Amino acid sequence: MPAPSLTSRRALPTPSPLLAAALLVGGCGAEPEDTSAAALRLRFPEHADVVLSAREAFAPTEGGFRLAATEPGGAWMRAARPEVELPRDGSGAIRFRLADGGEIRVRELGAEGEGAMAERAVSYRRAGGTSFWTTTDGGVEEWLLLEEGVARDGEVVAAWAVEGAQLRERGAAVELVDERSGAPLLRVTAPRAYAATGRRVTVALRARGARIELSIDAGDAVGEAVLVDPAWEAAGRSNVALRRDHTATLLQSGKVLVAGGSDWPEELADAELYDPTDDTWSLVGQMLAARYRHTATLLKSGEVLVLGGQNNLSGAAPVDTVERYDPEAGTWKRGASMVTPRTEHTATLLESGEVLLVGGATGTWTLSSAELYDPMTDTWTPAAPMNDAREDHAAVLLRPSGEVLVAGGWGAIGEVRSAELYDPETDTWTPTGALPGGNSFSWDAVVMAPLPSGEVLAVGALGAARYDPIAGTWSPTGPMIGVRPSHSATTLLNGMVLVTGEPSSSDSASYRSVELYDPETGAWTETAPTNGLHDDHSATRLLGGDVLLVGESVYPERYSIVGLRCTSDDECGRGACVDGVCCESRCLEPCHSCAMPSSLGRCVLQPKGLDARGDCAREGCDGSCDGLGACFAVAKGGVCAPAQCRDQTHSVAQVLCPADGASCAGPGSDAREVEDCAPYDCDQVSGTCKVECSSWQDCAPGHACDFSGRCVLSPPAEDPGCSAGPALAAAGASRAGLGAALLALLAVAQRSAPVFRGRFPRRRRDS
């Protein structure tokens, strides 16, 4: 796309008369990059108190500014806050010191100059504005005050280089994770951003190697000053204590309700919601009774039915209490009690909307009884008993028959190998084929997962078998990789089954092993291990296809389906099936692939080997070879080599392919034209020279941006920091003090004016 001409340049923002007067009187000392609290209060009076009046202030030290660490504050804290030390100079490293003695160092690109206390915050000059660091309960929050014109659609407006941790994106957040274990240590979000006129602005955080980048979708706010709040806080665990033997239920909204469980030596009534969109946890009201080894069933109404379980760890009899969670109201209400108190039972939603409750234990007795719950009338009725009493078994609804398959478990004299079918139409149980026996199998803690074919996979501690509902028989699968006494089995969107959980092994690495079962080949393969140990955990397939693991580890985890094999987009959740693997998004160019081993599941330009004619080829593309004989693919008539910045002030021009694709320059070719961008900067996004400026960061070194949008030579060295151009710099540094005073008076006047009562009222804090 050709660069826009100077005559088509959009109008730049005009400063208000009062602000312009302050600039003219004060020279560079009162320019928009002023780091004082008065400048912030002038531009964002409705949000300034949030930034400048934190409950806790940084403590000045010889090396900078320090925020002390906190200890875990009981079951309700996410995690202990790390110690944070801000540098004396903005170009230095922000240090996050962790409880285990580790340290993460973060440098904000473009920050400079000595930090100063701005009321209860710390401020620094930065490229295109000012940064204000303030404290939170979980860490620190950096409020970026960006000058007029800096916020432009899709452009990176701030970036941070990270040392001591790896970066990974989690929804709208970026996590800083331990380089060895992969456990999340810090979490960066940017939940709030406002334009000077009060409208909300959309922002995005991305991880680029070892750098975090913040970009803005300015929309109607283009040209306005913007205030945005990247927050750096402790991450990696849910809001409450460790839990096991809990339940996790996928709601109709896509969120996951995690309820109850145990955290030795007590059981839990706590419940929380996981939002996979932004990878966050939030507490919801406690259940009416603490419980573990209970069941939770999503009803057709969208409510969650929680029932049974145990409510103390001394081995007392199970409870008969029932409660229902309403996601719309976020409240729990009591339901009618079960006919028989039970734990380690199963609860299956039938096609009719009723819930079938089967087996389990009550005290020292294993149960064969069953009962039906009608959510419309909140009533229980006895159902026909099973042929065999069992607990810790598995149940799954068969389709299209609507029958319920119950198999395995533990009985009065040991493991139960039998399986039986419940017919809701006739209220009868019919024995079906028994699970395989022998030393290769153990079915006292079985889990089952439905397969796309209509068959069912049963996974025990030692082996697995498939059930054919037509023949009513079981057939063993190939041998599993691990021995798993406490595990889960989850059917993925592509039909494969993910099996996780603690294997029985003395090898510590194998405790985190995970395997996949492929129903097409009948083979088990090992996949990426978990970061933490998961024993007596829950595994929930999210709407996007990922699998959420919760318990016993302090770190919940998500297993990503990106990179798994696929045959259609339906198998890839919110992604796309490209080149036979699930890709993050559909590749836009025909010469890109998602199947490259080095970047599996992400679109990259795919090299191709020489074909029989000695040419580089790929369907829909022509190819060329570089000087070393390596092939690379290019789109016919497309861009063979995009424009790119060679350095800050030089642009390397793009190369267009002819229709036959025959004369594309190879990678690394120096045949492309190099353009000197001075007095402007090279645009790191498009790779071309900028042709206008709205702040000094759009200009080459030694130049500044004037009010007409042109990059001009900077003012003399004795008047540093002035980016408004020579015309304003000529006002002289002698008036800087007067300008600053005027700016402060304007801020005081602004605060004395009637408070805005519109969309964003001023928030006040008690001292």
Name the band, by pLDDT with cuts 50, 70 and 90, for residue 638. Answer: low
Residues 193-248 pLDDT 10s: 888 888 778 888 889 888 999 988 766 567 788 999 898 988 754 444 578 899 99
Cα(170)–Cα(276) distance, integer angstroms: 9
Residues 54 and 1 in one domain: no
Among the candidates 204, 234, 264, a domain finishes at 234
Cα(150)–Cα(127) distance, integer angstroms: 9
Residues 670 and 734 in one domain: no
Report the chain's mean pLDDT, rounded to a whole number: 77
Of the candidate ranges 85-99, 238-252, 404-418, the one whose mean pLDDT is the lowest? 238-252
Cα(153)–Cα(591) distance, integer angstroms: 28
Count of Cβ atoms closer than 10 Å to residue 99 Cβ? 16
Does 509 have pLDDT greater than 60? Answer: no
Residues 43 and 169 in one domain: yes
- State how beta strands 173-177 and 166-170 pair: antiparallel
Does 480 have pLDDT greater than 80? Answer: yes
Identify which has the larger pLDDT, 667 or 386.
386
Q: What is the mean pLDDT of residues 422-426?
A: 97
Residues 147-173 pLDDT 10s: 888 877 778 889 999 999 999 887 678
Give the pair of three-digit tokens for residue 11. 């109008």
Cα(23)–Cα(381) distance, integer angstroms: 80
Domain that residue 656 falls in? 608-676
Q: Which of 124, 134, 137 is nearest to 82 (CA)?
A: 137
Among the candidates 646, 676, 706, a domain finishes at 676
Name the band, by pLDDT with cuts 50, 70 and 90, for residue 758. Answer: very low
Instruction: Write down the pLDDT at residue 316.
Output: 62
Q: What is the mean pLDDT of residues 54-76?
A: 75
Does 323 have pLDDT greater than 90? Answer: yes
Residues 711 and 612 in one domain: no
Cα(361)–Cα(368) distance, integer angstroms: 9
Name the band, by pLDDT with cuts 50, 70 and 90, for residue 516. Answer: very high
Give ∠ CA 603-606-610 in degrees, rounded to 5.
165
In a domain, 385, yes or no: no
Highest mean pLDDT (candidates 189-193, 270-274, 529-533, 611-615):
270-274
In a domain, 699, yes or no: yes
Distance of CA 539 to the CA centre of its chain: 18
Residues 621 and 704 in one domain: no
In a domain, 185, yes or no: yes
Residues 20 and 41 in one domain: no
What residues form DSSP beta bridges with 175?
168, 187
Residues 200 and 87 in one domain: yes
Does 388 have pLDDT greater than 90? Answer: yes
Name the band, by pLDDT with cuts 50, 70 and 90, for residue 669. Answer: very low
Residues 121 and 183 in one domain: yes
Residues 79 and 111 in one domain: yes
> Which helix (H) or strand (E) covers residue 745, if one does?
helix 736-752
Q: What is the mean pLDDT of residues 341-358?
A: 96
Does 189 have pLDDT greater than 60? Answer: yes
Residues present in the chain in total: 767
Q: How far from 301 is each of 22, 82, 275, 285, 378, CA to CA, in Å? A: 62, 43, 20, 20, 13
Instruction: Write down the pLDDT at residue 609.
Output: 53
Does 661 have pLDDT greater than 70? Answer: no
Cα torsion 431, 433, 439, 445: sign: negative
Q: Say whether pTM exceeds 0.85.
A: no
Does 5 have pLDDT greater than 90? Answer: no
In a domain, 583, yes or no: no
Count of Cβ atoms closer than 10 Å to residue 536 Cβ? 19
Among the candidates 622, 644, 676, a domain finishes at 676
Number of domains in the chain: 3
Residues 16 and 108 in one domain: no
Instruction: Write down the pLDDT at residue 614.
Output: 44
In a domain, 18, yes or no: yes
Name the band, by pLDDT with cuts 50, 70 and 90, for residue 39. Answer: confident
Give the pair of three-digit tokens for residue 253. 């909204």
Asked, as a colleague might, if the bond just before 32 is cis with ω within 30 of 0, I would say no
Determine phi and psi for 59, rounding to 5 degrees.
-105, 120
Name the band, by pLDDT with cuts 50, 70 and 90, for residue 122. Answer: very high
Q: Which of 328, 284, 287, 290 is nearest to 305 (CA)?
A: 287
In a domain, 471, yes or no: no
Q: What is the mean pLDDT of residues 596-611?
A: 66
Cα torsion 379, 385, 390, 394: sign: negative
Q: Name the percent of the chain lying above pLDDT 90.
A: 32
- CA atoms in the 13 A half-sphere facing the CB of 105: 7
Cα(272)–Cα(303) distance, integer angstroms: 15
Does 576 have pLDDT greater than 70? Answer: yes
Does 79 have pLDDT greater than 80? Answer: no
Residues 277-316 pLDDT 10s: 877 777 787 898 889 999 999 999 999 999 999 887 556 6
Instruction: Write down the pLDDT at residue 18.
Output: 35
Q: Report the SS3 class of residue 234.
A: strand
Residues 746 and 654 in one domain: no
Residues 622 and 737 in one domain: no
In a domain, 367, yes or no: no
Cα(512)–Cα(606) distance, integer angstroms: 33
In a domain, 228, yes or no: yes
Cα(584)–Cα(600) distance, integer angstroms: 10
